Amino acid sequence: MDTAVVVVWLSMVVTILSRSHADRNVYPSAGVLFVHVLEREHFKGEFPPYPKPGDSSNDPITFNTNLMGYPDRPGWLRYIQRTSHSDGVLYGSPTAEHVGKATIIEITAYNRRTFETARHNLVINIMSTEDYPLPYQAEFFIKNMNVEEMLASEVLGDFLGAVKNVWQPERLNAINITSALDRGGRVPLPINNLKEGVYVMVGADVQFSSCLREVENPHNQLRCSQEMEPVISCDKKFRAQFDIDWCKINLVDITKVVTIHSNRPDPGTGVLPDIGEYNPPSESLKSRDFFADFLITLAVPSAVAMVLFTILGYSMCCRREGVIQLVHHSSIQKSTKELRSMSKNREISWPLSTLPVFSQSGEVVPPIHPDNYETTSMPLMQTQTNLQNQIQIPQQQPSGDRDNYCMSTFRRLEVNGIPEERKVAEALNL
C-alpha to C-alpha distance for 246 and 244, rounded to whole angstroms? 6
Range with lowest mean pLDDT among 95-99, 206-210, 365-369: 365-369
Mean pLDDT value across residues 365-374: 51
Mean pLDDT value across residues 363-390: 49
C-alpha to C-alpha distance for 47 and 49, rounded to whole angstroms? 6
Query: Does the pLDDT at position 409 exceed 50?
Result: no
- Give the pLDDT of residue 414: 52
- Give the pLDDT of residue 81: 92
Mean pLDDT value across residues 133-150: 90
Mean pLDDT value across residues 302-321: 83
Average pLDDT, the chain: 75
- Give the pLDDT of residue 11: 35
- The distance between the two most distant Cα atoms of the chain, rounded to a whole number of Å, is 152
- Give the pLDDT of residue 408: 47
Range with lowest mean pLDDT among 63-67, 223-227, 317-321, 413-417: 413-417
- CATH for 9-125, options being 2.60.40.10, 1.10.8.50, 3.20.10.10, 3.40.50.1860: 2.60.40.10
Tally Cβ neighbours within 10 Å of residue 61. Answer: 26
The phi and psi torsions of 235 (rounded to 5 degrees) equal -65, -30
pLDDT classification of 10: cutoffs 50, 70, 90: very low
- Give the pLDDT of residue 4: 38
- Give the pLDDT of residue 97: 84
- Give the pLDDT of residue 355: 54
Who's near 45: CB < 8 A, 6+ residues apart? 18
Mean pLDDT value across residues 67-82: 90
Query: Does the pLDDT at position 261 exceed 80?
Result: no
Mean pLDDT value across residues 254-260: 63
Range with lowest mean pLDDT among 54-58, 217-221, 236-240: 54-58
C-alpha to C-alpha distance for 255 and 259, rounded to whole angstroms? 10
User: Which range has the top average pLDDT, 20-34, 66-80, 412-426?
Assistant: 66-80
Range with lowest mean pLDDT among 1-5, 113-117, 312-316, 332-336: 1-5
- Give the pLDDT of residue 282: 77
Residue ranges, comma separated, of all CATH 2.60.40.10 domains in the chain are: 9-125
Mean pLDDT value across residues 338-343: 80
pLDDT classification of 338: cutoffs 50, 70, 90: confident
pLDDT classification of 35: cutoffs 50, 70, 90: very high
pLDDT classification of 8: cutoffs 50, 70, 90: very low
- Give the pLDDT of residue 258: 47
pLDDT tens string 152-206: 889 999 999 999 999 988 889 899 999 998 888 888 877 777 888 999 999 998 9
